[in-house]
Amino acid sequence: MTDYPDILYEVKDRIATITLNRPERLNAYTGTMAESIKRAMAAATNDTNVRVIVLTGAGRGFCAGADMEVLTGIQARPPASEDMKDGSFDSHFESDLGPDLSVDFADAERFGYFARTKKPIIAAINGPIAGIGLVMALYADMRFAADKAVFTTAFAQRGLIAEHGISWLLPRLVGQANALDLLLSARKIGAEEARALGLVNKVFAQENFVDNVMAYARLLADTVSPRSMAVMKAQVWKANFQDFNESLATADKEMKTSLAHSEFKEGVAHFLEKRAPKFADI
């Protein structure tokens, strides 16, 4: 679509699919792509027909990292649009569902807004993933990988450092020692090792990868409360900045609100009546 250069955006069955679309360069990351992803995420966040977001890559890879032409200065990053310059675009990710994340994930230039997106984001890693592509996937709420996918942080081999918050995210997923292994060595690992480390949730065979990812996305879209998902997502991301007592206090507050909400009544009713739920869109 012309509104989203370097990506494709589609909504079907209450699932928004954002596809990185530079397959001839293994979907290497550009400034144009960055802006398109954010605009697409904002569109999905504010579309009541969307309950789940899937982020994936076109062709045989997810994202090979930053385009090397960008890194060498051959291709300059395009100027940010006016609404992104003044910060007003962040209003698209404001939510009154669950604890406030606007301070904890205030950065708008990278991927902090993924956490503030009130709908679950699934990174569908269909092939090779490296550098900033890996960082982006870590900001998703879940990661599913095809069995042929290959992962690398890549930064150390480029003379770079742990960029874009990966030094905060990666140890929380795989532990400090494993995070340092992956960062310092920049070695390539396969999907099964990534799963064993906790880097990805599930691994599916390449030939039915898309079907399995979409089946899980439909499970979320069709059977659970969008409001519940939004609140729980915010709770879990917020908990990174809370101690146990603060997290418990947040849960108590949200539970009181949930018990008085129509979604709770519908949750009980559809279970007792043995029918499909009719949860409200958000």
Q: Which tens digits make up the pLDDT trace of 75-128? A: 444 555 555 554 567 788 989 999 999 999 987 678 999 999 999 999 999 999
Residues 185, 201, single domain; the answer is yes
pLDDT score, position 262: 97
Determine contact, residues 15/221, Cβ cutoff 8 Å: yes
Question: What mean pLDDT comes out for the span 165-179?
Answer: 97
Q: Cα(163)–Cα(141) distance, rounded to whole angstroms?
A: 19
Is residue 278 in a domain?
no
Residues 158, 83, single domain; the answer is yes
Residues 156, 264, single domain; the answer is no
Show the domain range for 241: 225-272
Is residue 1 in a domain?
no
Q: Cα(121)–Cα(127) distance, rounded to whole angstroms?
A: 18
pLDDT band at 229 (very low <50, low <70, confident <90, very high): very high
| Residue 153 confidence (pLDDT) above 90 | yes
Residues 12, 60, single domain; the answer is yes
Beta-strand pair 7-12/15-20: antiparallel
Residues 86, 136, single domain; the answer is yes
Number of compact structural domains in the chain: 2
Q: Tell me the per-residue pLDDT of 10-47, one tens digit each, with 9 for 90 and over.
A: 999 999 999 999 999 999 999 999 999 999 999 999 99
Residues 150, 231, single domain; the answer is no
What is the Cβ-side half-sphere exposure of residue 74, based on CA atoms within 13 angstroms?
Answer: 5
